[in-house]
């Protein structure tokens, strides 16, 4: 977790008014914040949500204490920002990534190589499961840190990740059932 420690050190320095440290802090962390936002609320709004996350976090850097990892702190802010965004889109579209209104089919459609883009399927997950899955799989956080970001016990993360896997596997199966030829192609490719 050397990278996280480095980020926390940068946050500490930025807190004390070091402009270069602030720039390094943003530069070292925006990618993970962006990917988290993109997975939670869609790539089209991820730029704005990333900016808002930092806009909220930087003024409160003064209150940041080194006893928490700067990354989990940043991601928990991002989670709140994204939750606000999803709420403002309204309950009916809560569960969907609004960037893809042209995609009415809930089935997972494999591409030419037979691979279903997992990122596209994430949008159809329950938001809590999606957050747990993205934090642990896409960003590679340990369950304990994901729990800090989500403000829930580690056991809840464990079960949400498992449920997310169940849901995704079910979606992929449904897609493959609808496109049996593609499944064949993938099987032959991977074997």
Residue (27 or 184) nearer to another protein, CB: 27
Query: Could you identify the residue written with the tokens 């899955």?
Result: 133
Our CA angle for 122, 124, 125, nearest 5°, is 70
Q: Please tell me the distance from the alpha carbon of residue 124 to that of residue 166, in angstroms, as a whole number.
A: 13
What is the 3 state secondary structure string of 2-47? HHHHHHHHHHHHHHCCCHHHHHHHHHHHHHHHHHHHHHHHCHHHHH
The correct pick among 117, 174, 177, 189 for binding another protein (CB under 8 A) is: 117
Our CA angle for 75, 55, 138, nearest 5°, is 25
Q: Report the nearest approach of another protein to the CB of residue 85 (Å).
A: 10
Is 4 a binding residue for another protein by CB under 8 A? The answer is no
Q: Report the nearest approach of another protein to the CB of residue 124 (Å).
A: 14
**Residue 135 gets which letter from DSSP?**
I
* Polymer length in residues for the chain: 191
Write out the binding residues for another protein, residues 165-184 only, by CB under 8 A.
165-166, 168-169, 172-173
| Radius of gyration of the CA atoms of the chain, in A | 18
Q: Tell whether the torsion through CA atoms of 174, 180, 182 and 183 is positive or negative.
A: positive
The correct pick among 8, 45, 82, 133 for binding another protein (CB under 8 A) is: 133
Is 151 a binding residue for another protein by CB under 8 A? The answer is yes
**Mask for 86-115, x = binds another protein (CB under 8 A):** -----------------------------x
| Interface ranges with another protein (CB under 8 A) | 14-17, 19, 22-23, 26-27, 30-31, 34-35, 38-39, 43, 46-47, 50-52, 54-56, 58-63, 65, 67-68, 73, 76-77, 80-81, 84, 115-119, 133, 136-138, 140, 142-143, 151, 154-155, 158-159, 161-162, 165-166, 168-169, 172-173
């Amino acid at each position: 977790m050397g990278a996280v420690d480095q980020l926390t050190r940068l946050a500490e320095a930025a807190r004390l008014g070091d402009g270069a440290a602030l720039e390094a802090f943003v530069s070292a962390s925006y990618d993970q914040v962006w990917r988290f936002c993109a997975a939670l609320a869609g790539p089209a709004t991820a730029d704005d949500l990333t900016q808002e996350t930092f806009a909220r976090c930087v003024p409160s850097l003064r209150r940041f204490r080194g006893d928490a990892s700067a990354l989990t702190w940043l991601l928990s802010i991002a989670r709140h920002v994204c939750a606000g965004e999803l709420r403002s889109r309204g309950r009916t579209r809560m569960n969907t990534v609004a960037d893809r209104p042209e995609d009415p089919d809930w089935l997972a459609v494999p591409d030419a190589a037979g691979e279903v883009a997992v990122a596209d399927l994430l949008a159809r997950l329950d938001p809590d499961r999606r957050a747990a899955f993205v934090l642990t799989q896409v960003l590679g956080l340990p369950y304990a840190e994901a729990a800090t970001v989500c403000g829930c016990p580690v056991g809840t993360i464990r079960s949400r990740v498992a449920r997310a896997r169940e849901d995704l596997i079910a979606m992929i199966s449904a897609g493959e059932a609808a496109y049996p030829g593609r499944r064949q192609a993938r099987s032959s490719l991977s074997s």
